[in-house]
């Protein structure tokens, strides 16, 4: 940094001393990452500015103390840097009233969820944070952490365990209702969270489970919500931009694209902020918005990220500028994802597609292929199986969905002798050790695809029975390994 003599971000450097008093706490948010700080926090700031209310957010970071420490050193403030090639806008939301690291004080998580002042517990813990089995969609009872959390008296460490123990404590103390609001890219995220919570409760000893199940049914709601904003990891460039333009040091600025969207089911057990003030939409068609977004945006994003990484592109705009990647992206979006979704009323799909490509082309943002490509083992199950099964049932091979899976496997667990490149190696994935073990035992793409999809059911049980899909994925893995991602993309397009 060249601006070390500047003051740190604070209420006074941000010019907020007299603006308004901090809100009282009302929301506990699990997952204090960049996405939450550029999305829900911004909407909550607009809601409080317009209508007041006790909706201050207590942010809980799972392991990392970076954001928590910086927030505390900066009067709980940070800067959102909205950026595109044409625009740059800074804003400083003022909504966080406290923050802590769960791993440093695990008992505090259920306690905070149980506090009477808490009306909403919201989540951005990523697909990976729900401890669900990609095979069944249900709770991953094989996970040691889940087993540990089910034992009476243990302090929970999984998100689902923390929610259940927090609700149980509410039931035993004041009993006031609460909303659990998932803001992650899971299909039917509210319903899915509710199922996982109920499943956890059903595995508790009977003495605990029956009253609790009934209490949750009567006093807790789980609205679904579709969240959308591209938010990369921050870099020193953003810290520099804030210092140069605003004259203060912010250790944790959040970059974000100008576009933002939030569609929610209006089903809150204990009230909610007027998020409409920030542009949120309350709708009875959330499931349609979610499907549209998780498939057209996130699904296509995965294909762009994996083909991009294999072709050496570090960022999404670099990847989508490659001709064959753009063609593959258009094809998967129009021919393979679109037929599986119902369009919410008022949404024009052609405009939606045009807007997606222009968002992906945002060269100012620096969104990395390795970021979008991370955690594919838990993301792809949300994006691929249902549209693939629908096409297969109608007798059509989903070439580009198979290509997405082939490119993913080639990035994370290539066969011996193939180097997928630096961007692929930078992708994190909880299944990497397992998949690499399978790759080491495989002699061909088909062999590897069979082990990953057939034996290990990476994309669920139903797809594991489709030999034609598995073989096509395997053949595309071989083409990628022998002739490169461009040849595989051309093969998929011409098949
Ligand atoms: C991306 C998403 O990393 C990914 O898988 O597809 O994070 C995407 O950028 C957001 O969902 C956009 O709303």
Q: What is the CA radius of gyration of the chain?
A: 23
> Closest ligand 1 atom, CA of 367?
9
Q: How far is the CA of 406 from the centre of ligand 1 (A)?
A: 20
How many Cβ atoms sit within 10 Å of the Cβ of residue 59? 24
> Closest ligand 1 atom, CA of 298?
6
Cβ atoms of 413 and 495 within 8 Å: the answer is: no
Q: How far is the CA of 226 from the centre of ligand 1 (A)?
A: 12
Cβ atoms of 295 and 401 within 8 Å: the answer is: no
Tell me how far CA of residue 263 lies from CA of 284, 287, 353, 419, in angstroms: 9, 10, 18, 41
Q: How far is the CA of 387 from the centre of ligand 1 (A)?
A: 18
Residue 412: closest CA among 432, 382, 392, 393: 432
Tell me how far CA of residue 50 lies from CA of 258, 273, 402, in angstroms: 21, 10, 48
Q: How far is the CA of 405 from the centre of ligand 1 (A)?
A: 17
Q: How far is the CA of 52 from the centre of ligand 1 (A)?
A: 31
Question: pLDDT per residue over 236-288, tens digit each?
Answer: 999 999 999 999 999 999 999 999 999 999 999 999 999 999 999 999 999 99
> Closest ligand 1 atom, CA of 372?
3
The span from the CA of 135 to the CA of 201, in Å, is 21
The span from the CA of 84 to the CA of 80, in Å, is 13
Residue 193: closest CA among 168, 158, 169, 218: 158
Residue 137: predicted pLDDT: 86
CA angle 374, 375, 378 (to 5 degrees): 150
Cβ atoms of 413 and 435 within 8 Å: the answer is: yes
Q: How far is the CA of 295 from the centre of ligand 1 (A)?
A: 11
- Among protein residues, the one with the nearest Cα to ligand 1's atom 4 is 372
> Closest ligand 1 atom, CA of 379?
5
> Closest ligand 1 atom, CA of 371?
3
Q: How far is the CA of 111 from the centre of ligand 1 (A)?
A: 31
Cβ atoms of 450 and 371 within 8 Å: the answer is: no
- Among protein residues, the one with the nearest Cα to ligand 1's atom 10 is 230
- Among protein residues, the one with the nearest Cα to ligand 1's atom 6 is 298
The span from the CA of 470 to the CA of 314, in Å, is 29
Candidate from 294, 297, 308 with most ligand 1 atoms within 8 A of CB, to mutate: 297
Q: Is 261 helix (H, G, I), strand (E, B) or coil?
A: strand
Q: How far is the CA of 230 from the centre of ligand 1 (A)?
A: 6
- Among protein residues, the one with the nearest Cα to ligand 1's atom 8 is 230
- Among protein residues, the one with the nearest Cα to ligand 1's atom 5 is 372
The span from the CA of 170 to the CA of 211, in Å, is 12
How many Cα neighbours within 13 Å face the side chain of 462? 12
φ, ψ of residue 57 to 5 degrees: the values are: -110, 130
- Among protein residues, the one with the nearest Cα to ligand 1's atom 13 is 228
Tokens of 461: 């049980």
Measured between its terminal Cα atoms, the distance across the chain in Å is 52
Residue 1: predicted pLDDT: 53
The span from the CA of 329 to the CA of 312, in Å, is 17
Concatenate the DSSP letters of all residues of 191-211 into one string: HHHHHHHHHHHHTS-HHHHHH
ipTM of this complex: 0.99
> Closest ligand 1 atom, CA of 297?
6
> Closest ligand 1 atom, CA of 301?
6
How many Cβ atoms sit within 10 Å of the Cβ of residue 116? 11
Question: pLDDT per residue over 157-215, tens digit each?
Answer: 999 999 999 999 999 999 999 999 999 998 899 999 999 999 999 999 999 999 999 99
Residue 451: predicted pLDDT: 98
Q: Say which residues have a Cβ less than 8 Å from residue 291's Cβ, sequence separation at least 6.
A: 187, 340, 341, 342
The span from the CA of 170 to the CA of 193, in Å, is 18
Cβ atoms of 387 and 346 within 8 Å: the answer is: no
The span from the CA of 97 to the CA of 282, in Å, is 26
Residue 136: predicted pLDDT: 83
- Among protein residues, the one with the nearest Cα to ligand 1's atom 1 is 372
Candidate from 126, 184, 230 with most ligand 1 atoms within 8 A of CB, to mutate: 230
The span from the CA of 91 to the CA of 78, in Å, is 8
Residue 26: predicted pLDDT: 98
> Closest ligand 1 atom, CA of 228?
13
Q: How far is the CA of 374 from the centre of ligand 1 (A)?
A: 10
- Among protein residues, the one with the nearest Cα to ligand 1's atom 3 is 372
The span from the CA of 286 to the CA of 298, in Å, is 16
The span from the CA of 328 to the CA of 136, in Å, is 29
- Among protein residues, the one with the nearest Cα to ligand 1's atom 9 is 230
- Ligand 1: which residues within 6 Å by Cβ? 185, 228-230, 298, 301, 371-372, 379
Q: How far is the CA of 293 from the centre of ligand 1 (A)?
A: 10
The span from the CA of 431 to the CA of 58, in Å, is 31
Tokens of 286: 């959330």
Cβ atoms of 412 and 370 within 8 Å: the answer is: no
> Closest ligand 1 atom, CA of 374?
3
How many Cα neighbours within 13 Å face the side chain of 449? 26
> Closest ligand 1 atom, CA of 375?
5
Residue 15: predicted pLDDT: 82
Tokens of 385: 């199986």
Q: 């002798």: which residue's tokens?
A: 417
Residue 134: predicted pLDDT: 74
* DSSP for residue 295: I
Which residues of the chain, if any, have pLDDT below 70?
1-4, 17-20
Candidate from 31, 292, 298 with most ligand 1 atoms within 8 A of CB, to mutate: 298
Residue 485: predicted pLDDT: 98
> Closest ligand 1 atom, CA of 185?
11
């Amino acid at each position: 940094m060249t601006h070390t003599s500047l003051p740190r971000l604070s209420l006074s450097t941000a010019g907020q001393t007299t603006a308004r008093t901090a809100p009282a706490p009302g929301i506990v948010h699990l997952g204090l990452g960049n996405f939450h700080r550029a999305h829900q926090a911004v909407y909550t700031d607009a809601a409080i500015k317009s209508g007041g209310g006790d909706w201050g957010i207590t942010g809980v970071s799972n392991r990392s103390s970076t954001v928590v420490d910086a927030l505390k050193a900066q009067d709980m403030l940070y800067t959102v840097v909205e950026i595109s090639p044409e625009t740059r806008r800074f804003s400083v939301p003022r909504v966080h009233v406290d923050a802590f690291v769960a791993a440093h004080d695990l008992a505090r998580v259920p306690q905070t969820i149980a506090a009477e002042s808490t009306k909403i517990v919201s989540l951005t813990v990523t697909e990976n944070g729900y401890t669900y089995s990609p095979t069944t969609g249900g709770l991953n009872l094989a996970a040691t952490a889940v087993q540990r959390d089910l034992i009476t008296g243990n302090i929970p460490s999984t998100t689902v365990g923390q929610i259940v123990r927090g609700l149980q404590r509410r039931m035993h103390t004041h009993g006031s209702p609460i909303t659990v609001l998932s803001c992650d890219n899971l299909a039917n995220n509210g319903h899915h969270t509710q199922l996982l919570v109920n499943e956890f409760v059903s595995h508790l000893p009977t003495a605990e489970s029956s009253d609790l199940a009934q209490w949750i049914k009567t006093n807790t709601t789980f609205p679904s919500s579709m969240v959308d904003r591209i938010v990369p990891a921050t870099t020193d460039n953003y810290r520099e931009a804030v210092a140069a333009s605003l004259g203060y040091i912010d250790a944790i600025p959040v970059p974000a694209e100008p576009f933002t969207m939030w569609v929610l089911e209006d089903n809150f057990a204990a009230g909610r902020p007027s998020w409409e003030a920030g542009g949120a939409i309350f709708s009875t068609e959330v499931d349609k918005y979610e499907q549209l977004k998780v498939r057209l945006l996130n699904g296509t994003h995965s294909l762009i990220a994996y083909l991009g990484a294999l072709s050496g592109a570090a960022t999404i705009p670099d990847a989508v500028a490659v001709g064959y990647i753009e063609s593959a992206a258009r094809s998967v979006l129009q021919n393979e994802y679109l037929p599986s979704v119902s369009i919410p009323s008022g949404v024009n799909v052609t405009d939606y597609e045009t807007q997606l490509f222009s968002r992906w082309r945002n060269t100012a943002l620096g969104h990395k292929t390795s970021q979008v490509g991370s955690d594919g083992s838990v993301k792809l199950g949300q994006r691929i199986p249902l549209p693939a099964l629908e096409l297969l049932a109608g007798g059509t091979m989903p070439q580009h969905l198979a290509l997405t899976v082939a490119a993913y496997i080639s990035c994370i667990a290539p066969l011996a002798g193939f180097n997928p490149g630096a961007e692929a190696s930078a992708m994190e994935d909880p299944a990497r050790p397992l998949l690499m073990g399978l790759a080491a035992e495989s002699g061909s793409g088909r062999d590897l695809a069979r082990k990953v999809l057939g034996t290990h059911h990476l994309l669920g049980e139903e797809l594991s029975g489709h030999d034609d899909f598995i073989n096509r994925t395997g053949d595309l893995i071989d083409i990628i390994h022998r002739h490169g991602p461009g040849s595989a993309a051309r093969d998929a397009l011409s098949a």
